[in-house]
Amino acid sequence: MEFFAPVAPVDGEFVVRKRAVSAFVGTELERLLHVRDISTLALAGSVTNFAVEGTARDASDRGYRVIVLEDCCETVSDEWQAFSMTQILPLVALVVTAAEFADALRG
């Protein structure tokens, strides 16, 4: 599996190969999160209105706090992206920019 260098996993981080719309289906993701006592997920990725939404909905249903990094997601059109970010994802996630997320992490 190849990674873009700035976001490549570092020692101790796990990688889950997604096989379905939701990253939870057919993977060890939930077990890995549970073992590490992780309860908040920050999501980014492609096909916002399909894969990101699917994982966000599934994570929310499983009791995770979900954050979607708005400017780190994309889909086939600006209209679909805007609809997903303003109408769908806020129902199951906090939608923020990467800069807002980074600022929150820094405290």
Cβ atoms < 10 Å from Cβ of 53? 24
**Tens of pLDDT, residues 11-66:** 989 999 999 999 999 999 999 999 999 999 999 999 999 999 999 999 999 999 99
- Going by their DSSP bridges, the two strands 40-46 and 65-74 should be labelled as parallel
**Tens of pLDDT, residues 79-102:** 999 999 999 999 999 999 999 999
Alpha-carbon span 76 to 63, nearest angstrom: 29
Alpha-carbon span 34 to 80, nearest angstrom: 33
Domains of the chain: 20-106 (3.40.50.850)
